Each structure stands twice: as C-alpha cells, then as structure tokens.
Amino acid sequence: MTWDVAVNLAIQGGQMLVVLLLAPLLTGFVRKVKARLLRRQGPPVLQPYRDLLRLLRKEVVLADSASWVFRVAPYLIFAATWVAAALVPTFGLGLTFSWSADLIVIAGLLGSARFFLALAGLDVGTSFGGIGSSREVMIASLAEPALIIVVFTLALIAGSTQLSTIAGVMESGAVGLRVSLLLALVALIIVAIAENGRIPVDNPATHLELTMVHEAMVLEYSGRHLALIELAAFLKLLLYVSVIACVFAPWGLARPDAAPAALGIGLGAYVGKLAVAGFLLALFETSIAKMRVFRVPVFLGAALMLALLGTLLMFVTRVR
Amino acid sequence: MIASLLDPIAPVLLIPLVAAGVLMLVPSYRLGARINIAASLLALLAALSLFATGPSTGQLLLVDELNIVFIALNNFIGFTTAVFSASYIAHEVETDRLTPRLLRFYHAMFQALLCTMNLALVANNIGLMWVAVELATLTTIMLVGIYATEQALEAAWKYFILGSVGIALALFGTILIYVAARPVIGEGLDAMAWTVLITRAQNFDPRLLNLAFVFLLLGYGTKAGLTPVHAWLPDAHAEGPTPISAVLSGLLLNVALYAILRFKMLVAANQNAWAPGTLMITMGLSSLVFAAFMLYRRRDIKRLFAYSSIEHMGIATFAFGLGGPLANFGGLLHMTMHSLTKSAIFFAVGHVAQAKGTQRIAEIRGLTVTHPVLGWGLVLGVVAIAGLPPLGLFMSEFLIISTTFAREPWLAVPLVGGLLIALGALILRLGEIAFGEPEGPSVPVHASYVPLFAHMALVLVAGIYLPRPMVAWFEHVAGLLG
Amino acid sequence: MAAPNLQLDIAHMLAGGLVLASFLLLYQNRIFALLKVFALHSLLLSVAVAWQADIQGAPHLYITAGIAVVLKVLIIPGALYQMVKRLGIHREVETVVGIGPTMLAGMGLVALSIVLMLRVTETADTLAREDLAFALAVILLGLLTMVTRRNAISQVIAFMSIENGLILAATGARGMPLVVEISVAFSVLVALIVIGIFLFRIRERFDTVDMQALDRFSGERT
C-alpha cells in the first residue's frame, strides 16, 4: 500500500518536473521554428535555459518606489502557474492529484497569477506598467469568460470538469462528431493565443510601446525575479498546449495503474504533441500580422461567441 | 393536372393568367384596358358559376362554403376596379405620370395579381396557399413601385422587406403545421390539405399547433396589416396607383385574413391547443385603437384611408377572435362591407387626387362645390366607413359590438372607444375635404362613377335589408368557423 | 451516454454549421465578403439537405439540394456580385448597432429558438427537432441581420438566408411534398428579379442603395 502511494507520488512528482523542464524547451522550439520559417538561423533550441540561468545569476535591481508586492509577486506567479501546469494530465491519467486537476481550478490559478502580475505592473508606478496592466486586464475580462464557457461545454459533454474524466470520455469515442467541440476548440485556441500574448494579440519579441502587453508589465523586473516570471510564461504556454492536447487529442495517455511502458509511451506521445503544437503555433504566427490593440476585443469576442454558440448547440444534442 | 383543367375552378385561375400573358403583348393601353375589363368580367362570371356547381374538393384546389363568397367578392371588386382603372390611367397617361410601356406591364400585373389571389383563395394545400400569397405580394410590390418616384420606391422597398419577413414567418408556421400533421396523417400532400387537416386536427400535438399559429398570425397578419406589423401598409397604399390601393385594401388584406381564419379553424378543432381567440383579440384591438389615433395626424388623403383599413382589419380580426356564431357573422359581413366600401372610397379618392393634382388633405377643400358627384360620392363612402347608419358597416359593427357587450363587456370598452375615436377623425377630415371654400387648382376629370356608386348601392342595400338566403349562408359559415 | 449516432451527428454538424454561417453573415460588414459568406451559407445548406436526403432515404431532397446549389450558390450570389459591381456600391456596409450588442442579441435569439423548439417538438423525431430548432435560429438571425443593416444588398442577402433557414426546416419535416419546395424555389427566383429591378431603380433615383437615404422621405408625409 505505502509502496503504491510512494510510486504514485513519484509519478506525480515526475510530472511536475517534466512540465518544468519541457516548458523552456517548447518556447525555444517555437522560436527556432519561427526563425527557420523566416529563413533565419535563429537561436539554439536550448537558448531559453541559458537565458534563465543567466538571469538567475544576475543581481536584482529594484525601483525605489517598489513595495513588497513587487518583490513577492514573481514567486506567487511562478508557484501558481507551475501548480496549474503540473495538474494537467500530460502523459498519464489518474495521477495522485488528478482529483484536483479541475479545469475551473486551473482557470482560478491562472487568474490569480494574472492578478499578481497586473498588481506588480502597477506597483512601481511607471506608465508602461500601467498600460500593460490595463491591457492585460482588458484581455482577461474577455478571455476568461470564454474559457469558462468552453469548460462548460466540455462539462456538458463529459459530465465533469475534471480533466482526467474529460480526457477519458473523449478517448472512449462515445462522443461522436460534435460541432460544439469544434467551436470549443477554436475558442480555446483563441483564448490560448491571447493569454500567452502571442501574435496577433501581443508580440512576445517586441518592446514597442504601442503594442506590448505582457512585456510592458515586466519591464521593471530583473535578475531572478525576471527569470521566474519568464519561466512562468513558458509554463503557461505549455499548460495551454497540454490542456488542448489532453482534451482534444487524448491519444496515448497512460491509463491509471498502467505499466511503466505505458507511461513511457504516454511521455513520448506528449512530447510529440508538444512538437506538433509548437510547429503549428510558429506557422500561424509567421503567417499573420499583429492586430491593433483596439481590435483585440473583437478577436476575443469571437472566441466568446464561438464558445457560447458551442454551448447552445450542445443543448440541442442533449435532448436525444 | 389535365383533370384539374376541366375542373369548374380552373377558369377562375386560367382566365386572369391567360389575360396577363396577352396583356403583356398588347401595345395600346386603351385596348389593354378594355381587355383588362373583359377578362375581369369573364373571371367574375366564372366565379359566379361556382355557386351553381357548388362545393368541390380536389387534391390541390377546393371550393367550399367559406371561400366561395371570397372568390366572388374578389372577382367582383377585381372587375369594378378594372372599370375604374380604365378611366384612372387615361388621366395618368395624359399627365405623363405613366407611359404606355409601363401600362402594358401594369395591366399584366393586375391580372396576375387577381390570378394569384384567386389561387390563394381556392388552394386546398397550405403550401400552395403560401406560394400564392407570396406571389401576390411580389406582384403588388412591383405595382406599388410603378411610379418610380422616391416615395414609391421607398414604399415598395419597405413593403418588400416587411412583406418577406412576414411571409417567411408564415412559411415557418406552415411547416410546423405539417410537422404536427405528419405523425397523424402520414407523409405527402394529404398532410397539407385543408380538407384532411381539419378532420384530423384533434389528434395533432397541441403545442406545435400553438407555436405554428403564433407564427402564422404574425406572418399573415403582416399581410393583413395588423399592428405591430402594419408599417408597410400606409406607404404602399399612398404611393402606388390608386386602383392598386383599392385592390390592396379591398382584396389582398381579405386574402390574408382568410388565411388566418383557415388556420384558426384548424387550431380551434384541437381541444388541447390554446384558444387562438385571445391572440387575435389582442392584435385586433390594438390595431383598431392604434389606427384610430393615427387617423388624426394624417396629412395625405390616401394614407388616411390606409390607416382606416388597418382599423377595419383590426375590427374583423377582433370579431373572429371573439368567435361564436354572431361575432363570426359580424366579422364576415364586416370584411365584405369593408372591401366594398373601401375600394369605393379609393375609386373616389383616385379621381379627387387627379382633379386636385395633390394628395395633401390641406390642399383639398370644398369638393362638393367643385365636383359635386365625386364629392358626394366620397361623403357617402366616408359616412359608410365611419360606421354610420343606415349603411352596411353600421350593421356589422352593431352586431360585433352587441355580441361583445353580451359576452365580454370589458372588451367592449376599447372596441367602442376605438370606433368613436376613428369616427371623430374621419368626420373631422371629411368636413375639411368635402365642404367649405374650394381652394387650389382643380381640373375636371372624366371619371367613371359606375363602380363607385355600384359599390355604395350594395353597401346601402346590405345595411337596410339582407336577403334571406344570404343571411342563411353567412350564418352557416359563421357556424363552421366555430 | 447513448452510443454515438454518426449519421445524426453529421446532420447536426451541418445544420449547426449553418447557424454559424448565419453568425458570419451577421458579423461581416464588407459587401463582397458578405456575398461569399452567403454562398458558403447556401453551400452548407445544400450539403445538409443532400445528407438528409441520404439518411432519410428521400431522393426528392436531392432535387432540393440541387436547386439550392444552382440557384443560391451560383446564380444569386453571382447576379448580386454583378449588380454590386455595376452599381458601384460602397464596399463597407454601415451597421445600425455595434457589433458586440448585435452578436449578443444573436446569441439570445439562438438560445430562444432552441428552447422554444425543443419544448414544443417533443413528439417529433430527433432529426426534425434539431432541424427545426436550427432553422428557427437561422431565420431569426436573418431577421436580425436585416434590421441591423442599412444597405439594400445586405438586406437582400439576409432575406435569402432566411429562405435557407426555411428550406432547412422543410427538409427536417420529413416528406414535405416536392411540388411545394419547387414552387418556393420559384418564388425566390421571382423575388430576385423583383429585387434586381428595384435595386437598379433605387440606385437610379437616389445614387445610393443605403436605405438611410430613403428614410428622410418618410418623415415628411406621415
């Protein structure tokens, strides 16, 4: 008994490490693919790790006006995001803590991370931080409802908001072909793009004052604080990819109490899915232009509409 | 199809159809007008012959006690309007408002309109009826826009948009009726035939019937000009040629109300469905009261009488909504009398507008002095439409009011109130138009007074004495309506 | 959960896609794009009808689908395209209400039609219920498109999308006689001719097909 518990805990711990280690890799991979698509050499895939290590070694410079909120925020942001990312089933179902791997919990954790980030952006009192925070909150006010409605649709289909259960239902093939799922997927992808500050909502590679959102908030950070925030951003991207993969492409996920080989297959499949998602993201970002900030609400509004429509259509099928 | 050509009903449809084709090819508008009259007369005779052959039921077409009188009325007013139209358009050509080319089109469309309205009346298939009403709508849209002035185009476009919205809702309701009928009757034409539907309606799903009736009432109610979906009606009446206004008010509104009546019978045949009456009473009363108030602010003479049409359609709808033999009798009589009176008024108004060169009420004064026959004809018409004794509309309104007092006294308050308000407005306007010092330019018109006074004579006779067989017939149909 | 029924799921998906296309019509504010979305709308409709012809075993629905393809995917958008080009209409269409409230209202209408139709059609079969619910949604969205647009062309397209919804409803109602459907199609064609004539005449008179220009005449004479 205790042995089982220990193994399960080990697997859960393994999952936490896997997401932490893979997150910078995913970002590095996306950057590399983007560079190659533009016929540039691009930085090495492992560059994000080096950046993080470099930042961790550097001294922290604090603004005079910074309060304790500014100093505490990076740790809270990182912790919340990491926990959220580690809860999503990546390679296996039915892990020890999967009872808490609820989509609403994850949305809540991300929400609190965003709250602290916005607070930290405001704390120093520079105009950039303020712009960034206000834009971030504007985006969130549309993206979060969309996310919640997508969760609602999924819950209608699977009868649960727990990711393990949803993934199990999806994999079993009992769902059939649903236009609602397609709408939910599109909505979720739009939300993911907005939340991670990818093109066309935000450009993670620019510091142009007119357009930036995320970078504007973290402009005052340095050293290990910046490293944590960057890592949290990497984790967030990984988290969204994991959620989408887990719900819409649950193939290869190891069943509860599966043999170690199944876990290996699950891990392999997971890395494969990440690679595909990263490639598609890079392809999408290179083929589209950044949109003006005041167009963003329309873009996110579309996600909200699609999610709502998906839910409504779901109600039609429930009568069968 | 071949067999149905030999049907006694067929001439009512074929005569106008063939006439429409022929009129398309006749270059002279004088000849066109004569053919128009002749074809309408033939159609009228064919319609009257239906009384002799009696009820008949086919797969697609049907003549029964309810629609036969509407068919006769339709073709009678079609004929008189054709006579009026001949003298009306002669003046329009002289003043260059219409070209002979346009008149060719106008005459063809006039016959096509009569054909589609007849089809809507004799259709034994709810789908076919819908198609006929849709085609009749499209035809009238073309006719309303024929002057191609800004106002006429706007009116036609408004009519098109609102009309197509209404017609779409009506089709959805029609489909719902079919969905309700299919489990009981089975697939195919039978599940859309009146004669079959009415006998099996008690087994339909009542909720589907309720919903269908809401759509149908809104849809065909748009065509019948019921508030709140009446907005197209005043514009379309005011901006089209006056013969078309007469046909719109006298006939097309009736056709739409006839469709509502048919569906009402269907819903009423199912005990579990809502009583359709409440909805019809609400729409009818609101149309009446709304139109009565709107009458006061009219500055255009054709708009004035267009609103009066809304008012009278409201009264008839109210009467049918109330139901029962007496109210139904009143409603049917009211529809008939209103058709005759309102088309007569438009005959007069058409010539008045030509004589004065304007439709603005403020510029029409002292008609009885300048044009005595026309002026007194109009006075007679307005007295009739206001519901004063001893004319036919007094009779029908009296019936409706007395039965309302007997059964739902509270409803009589808005009913009588609306009627009195409308009466006041009409008398007020009549005083300005007909009496007082003549004003503005006026030209003599070569009016044909026969249609006008023929209608008024019928209305007067009906107000004083209804022949026994007619009363028996009205009572019989009123009983059928439930 | 019941075993998935792929036939029904595909029918559901196509009909749901039609509702989505209606939203695109509601959202789109460029005329040429609007015409393309309308062609897509009609294409989805004809595929949906053809699919239902297959699963209902009702060959006459293929004819309906064929009419829809020829008339509404090719002829009508093509004719309107030519008209827009020849009339030289402004490409952007003014909307009366903002896009956000419009979309929310659209959602409300979809919810309303689903609730309404599912309530009252409990005795009908699944296919008919879904079709009727979606059809009502398409019709109401078409009405909404009609009232939120000022441009005559977009109003016409909205009208045609309402017709598409009606055809979907007729398809779901199994065994609706073909003669009815053909005559409906015919009346739509006649409607198109009427519209065409009027668009040219309106353009001739007003130098625009913006219906707001027409509105100023109505205040005068009431």
Any idea where the domains of chain B sit in the sequence? 275-482
Whole-number Å distance between alpha carbons of A307 and B10: 56
Segment of A132-146, B354-368, B459-473, C121-135 carrying the highest mean pLDDT: A132-146
Whole-number Å distance between alpha carbons of C45 and A201: 34
On the 0-12 / 13-18 / 19+ scale of CB atoms within 10 A, A137 is middle
Q: Which residues pair with A102 in a beta bridge?
A: A162
Does A316 reach chain C within 8 Å, measured CB to CB? Answer: yes
Chain A contacts of C18, Cβ < 8 Å? none
Whole-number Å distance between alpha carbons of C216 and C138: 31
Q: Is pLDDT above 60 for B128?
A: yes
Whole-number Å distance between alpha carbons of A318 and B91: 66
Q: Is pLDDT above 70 for B302?
A: yes
pLDDT band per the 50, 70, 90 thresholds, residue C1: very low
Tokens read off for B161: 């948009």
Chain C contacts of B172, Cβ < 8 Å? 135-136, 139, 166, 169
Look up tokens 């507008």; give the residue: B353
Residues 275-304 (B) with a CB less than 8 A from some CB of C: 297-300, 303
Supply the mean pLDDT for chain A: 86
Mean pLDDT over A53-67 rounds to 89
Which pLDDT value is given to residue B220?
93
The larger pLDDT score, comparing residue C94 to residue B437, is at B437
| Cβ proximity of C162 and C143 under 8 Å | yes
Chain C contacts of B188, Cβ < 8 Å? 175, 177
Nearest residue to A301 (alpha-carbon basis) of B58, B78, C103 = C103
Chain C contacts of A308, Cβ < 8 Å? 107
Q: Is pLDDT above 90 for A33?
A: yes
- Min Cα–Cα distance to chain B from C176, Å: 6
- Single-letter code of the amino acid located at B306: A
| Cβ proximity of B276 and B267 under 8 Å | yes
Residues 154-183 (B) with a CB less than 8 A from some CB of C: 154, 156-157, 160-161, 164-165, 168-169, 171-172, 175-176, 178-179, 182-183
pLDDT band per the 50, 70, 90 thresholds, residue A188: very high
Query: The dihedral of CA C75, C81, C84, C90: what is its sign?
Result: positive
pLDDT tens-digit series, residues C134-169: 999 999 999 998 888 877 788 888 888 888 888 888
Chain B contacts of C124, Cβ < 8 Å? 179, 183, 205, 208
The larger pLDDT score, comparing residue A175 to residue A320, is at A175
Whole-number Å distance between alpha carbons of A317 and B7: 49
3-class SS at C92? strand
Chain C contacts of B176, Cβ < 8 Å? 132
Mean pLDDT over B318-345 rounds to 91
On the 0-12 / 13-18 / 19+ scale of CB atoms within 10 A, C3 is exposed
Which pLDDT value is given to residue C29?
77
| Cβ proximity of A48 and A28 under 8 Å | yes
Taking the mean position of all CA atoms in its chain, how far away is CA B214? 21
The residue count of chain C comes to 222
Does C219 reach chain B within 8 Å, measured CB to CB? Answer: no
Mean pLDDT over B229-236 rounds to 86
Chain C contacts of A319, Cβ < 8 Å? 118, 126, 129
Does C81 reach chain B within 8 Å, measured CB to CB? Answer: no
DSSP-H helix ranges across chain C: 6-27, 31-56, 60-67, 76-87, 99-120, 126-148, 152-172, 178-206, 211-221
Q: Is pLDDT above 90 for B256?
A: yes
Nearest residue to A310 (alpha-carbon basis) of A183, A220, A198 = A183
Tokens read off for B356: 């004065």
Does B150 reach chain C within 8 Å, measured CB to CB? Answer: yes
Mean pLDDT over A13-37 rounds to 91
Q: Which of A314, A316, A317, A320 to mutate to test the interface with C (most CBs of C within 10 A)?
A: A316
pLDDT band per the 50, 70, 90 thresholds, residue C187: low
Does C216 reach chain B within 8 Å, measured CB to CB? Answer: no
Interface of C with A (CB under 8 A): 1-6, 8-10, 12-13, 16-17, 19-20, 23, 27, 99-100, 103, 107, 110-111, 114, 118, 126, 129-130, 133-134
- Single-letter code of the amino acid located at A227: A
The larger pLDDT score, comparing residue A203 to residue A27, is at A27
Whole-number Å distance between alpha carbons of B260 and B213: 9
Which pLDDT value is given to residue A283?
92
C and A: touch, per 3+ CB pairs < 8 A? yes
Q: Is pLDDT above 50 for C2?
A: no
CB nearest to C174's CB, from B145, B157, B187: B187
A and B: touch, per 3+ CB pairs < 8 A? no
Q: How far is CA A77 from CA A60, A63, A239, C144, C198, in A?
A: 17, 19, 14, 44, 63
| Cβ proximity of B301 and B359 under 8 Å | yes
Nearest residue to B477 (alpha-carbon basis) of B259, B331, B273, B340 = B331
Region of poorest pLDDT, from B263-272, C24-33, C192-201: C192-201
Half-sphere exposure in the Cβ direction for A93 (13 Å, CA): 20
Chain C contacts of B125, Cβ < 8 Å? 180
Supply the mean pLDDT for chain C: 79
Decide if C202 and B169 are in contact by the 8 Å CB cutoff.
Answer: no
Chain A contacts of C128, Cβ < 8 Å? none
DSSP tag of C209: -
Segment of A30-39, B198-207, C121-130 carrying the highest mean pLDDT: A30-39
The larger pLDDT score, comparing residue C71 to residue A18, is at A18
Nearest residue to B214 (alpha-carbon basis) of B164, B178, B269, B260 = B260
Region of poorest pLDDT, from A115-119, B102-106, C141-145, C182-186: C182-186
Region of poorest pLDDT, from B82-86, C76-80, C82-86, C128-132: C82-86
Residue of chain A nearest C22, judged by CA positions? A309
Which pLDDT value is given to residue B6?
56
Tokens read off for B27: 């270059």
Decide if C9 and A177 are in contact by the 8 Å CB cutoff.
Answer: yes
Q: Is pLDDT above 70 for A166?
A: yes
Q: Is pLDDT above 60 for A192?
A: yes
Mean pLDDT over A59-81 rounds to 90
Whole-number Å distance between alpha carbons of B257 and B251: 10
pLDDT tens-digit series, residues A228-268: 999 999 999 999 999 999 888 888 787 776 677 888 888 88
Q: Which residues pair with B477 in a beta bridge?
A: none
pLDDT tens-digit series, residues B9-42: 888 888 999 999 898 888 888 888 899 999 999 9
pLDDT band per the 50, 70, 90 thresholds, residue A75: very high
Decide if A177 and C6 are in contact by the 8 Å CB cutoff.
Answer: yes
Look up tokens 């004819």; give the residue: C63
Query: The dihedral of CA A190, A265, A110, A113: what is its sign?
Result: negative
Mean pLDDT over B448-470 rounds to 86
Mean pLDDT over C31-54 rounds to 89
Tokens read off for A168: 């199990």
Q: Is pLDDT above 60 for A184?
A: yes
Segment of C19-23, C173-177, C182-186 carrying the highest mean pLDDT: C19-23
pLDDT tens-digit series, residues B110-119: 999 999 999 9
C and B: touch, per 3+ CB pairs < 8 A? yes
Q: Is pLDDT above 50 for C222?
A: no
Chain C contacts of B151, Cβ < 8 Å? 217, 221
- Min Cα–Cα distance to chain C from B127, Å: 6
Look up tokens 């073309």; give the residue: B142
DSSP tag of A102: B
Does C205 reach chain B within 8 Å, measured CB to CB? Answer: yes
Supply the mean pLDDT for chain B: 87
pLDDT band per the 50, 70, 90 thresholds, residue B1: very low
- Min Cα–Cα distance to chain A from C36, Å: 19
Q: Is pLDDT above 50 for A143?
A: yes
Mean pLDDT over B184-200 rounds to 83
Residues 234-253 (B) with a CB less than 8 A from some CB of C: 234-235, 238
Which pLDDT value is given to residue C208?
64
Residues 145-204 (A) with a CB less than 8 A from some CB of C: 159, 169, 173-180, 182-183
Exposed e or buried b for every residue in B149-179, given b needs 16+ CB within 10 A? ebbbbbbbbbbbbbbbbbbbbbbbbbbbbbb
Residue of chain B nearest C166, judged by CA positions? B172
Which pLDDT value is given to residue C220?
43
What DSSP assignment string belongs to B213-264? HHHHHHHHHHHHT-TTS-THHHHHHHHS-HHHHHHIIIIIHHHHHHHHHHHH
ipTM of the complex: 0.87
